[in-house]
A = this chain, B = another copy of it.
Amino acid sequence: MDLIRTVDAMQTHADTARADGRTLALVPTLGALHDGHLALVRTALEEADHVTVSIFVNPTQFGPNEDYDDYPRDLEGDRETLEALGVDALFAPSAEEMYPDVDDAALFGPLAWVSVEKLDEHLCGAYREGHFRGVTTVVTKLFHACTPDVGVFGKKDAQQYVILQRMVETLLFDIEIVGVPTVREPDGLAQSSRNEYLDPDEREQATVLYEAVTAAEEAAEGGEQEARAVVRAMENALAAAPDADVQYAEVVDAHTLQPMEYLAPGQEILAAVAVFFGDTRLIDSTFVQVPRS
């Protein structure tokens, strides 16, 4: 496996693989790889002949009060994991490589941004100002640096997954976005790099996120037609955890990410929750097809 540190070297590496007739997949990550990431990598290995995993803790997708500085980093461990899986290239650029205009003293900060409007108005977007603009911008840069045919993302970050699909479609990227189902612990908790922040008691209570999205699934698939009732089912499940500080429990259209009053037959919806345990913010979600009958 090649460890690649610069954009130029990555573009050359990708060009060479493509000239050899190979198809390319990219798995963008923030590192600190867990089983959820490994599921993405395995999907990528099935989808393409050549797999690049990027590890970049992207400053522009963290808010000023979020955990950018403390976000877990383990490049050496991640490297061994990816090598063992048969990944072809690990792209681990510096912030200077990814944001070449930040040190332009005359202007400050990144100048060029990619944004997807309206889809960031609800769910996490309502609480993490600028987060999705940071994500769409850095994913655009990673796509330009790694030039994949396929980009592999976790459906656990459901809003991100929908926004990136829309970005690729709208900006005419010649890239297919593949979504991988959420990987869970035996008790249902979605795998996340942030789970390691939880103390044992919080860890035990954290299963309510899974119970909430399961409750939403059962309600919607069971014929519930009022969005408010589906939300109530999630809220009831979350209430079982005394230390859960609920940020949101919402139901939106899976395509537009806008809320609705009534579930329409055949509509795909996204039911999602965000919950704090102390300073640790966890999310979970599910895509549900509303029955037609």
Q: Give the B-binding residues of A (Cβ under 8 A).
A: 7, 11, 98-101, 104, 106-107, 110-119, 136-137, 140-141, 144-145, 147, 166-167, 169-174, 253, 255-256, 258
Instruction: Tell whether, in the assembled complex, residue A116 and residue B107 are in contact, meaning their CB atoms are under 8 Å apart.
Output: no
Instruction: Tell whether, in the assembled complex, residue A106 and residue B258 are in contact, meaning their CB atoms are under 8 Å apart.
Output: yes
Instruction: Tell whether, in the assembled complex, residue A101 and residue B166 are in contact, meaning their CB atoms are under 8 Å apart.
Output: yes
- Interfacial chain B residues near A258, Cβ < 8 Å: 106-107
* Contacts A101-B166, A166-B101; A171 near B107 (Cβ below 8 A): no
Closest residue of chain B to A146 (Cβ to Cβ) is B172
Instruction: Tell whether, in the assembled complex, residue B106 and residue A113 are in contact, meaning their CB atoms are under 8 Å apart.
Output: no
5 A-B pairs besides A100-B170, A114-B140 with CB distance below 8 A are: A11-B174, A111-B119, A137-B171, A144-B173, A145-B172
Among B98, B115, B144, B253, contact of A115 (Cβ-Cβ < 8 Å): B115
- Interfacial chain B residues near A100, Cβ < 8 Å: 169-170, 172
* Contacts A106-B258, A115-B113, A115-B115; A140 near B171 (Cβ below 8 A): yes
A16 to B: closest C-beta gap in Å: 13
Instruction: Tell whether, in the assembled complex, residue A169 and residue B115 are in contact, meaning their CB atoms are under 8 Å apart.
Output: no
C-alpha spacing A98/B172, complex, angstroms: 8
Instruction: Tell whether, in the assembled complex, residue A113 and residue B111 are in contact, meaning their CB atoms are under 8 Å apart.
Output: no
Among B141, B166, B174, B253, contact of A144 (Cβ-Cβ < 8 Å): B174
* Contacts A107-B256, A171-B144; A112 near B101 (Cβ below 8 A): no
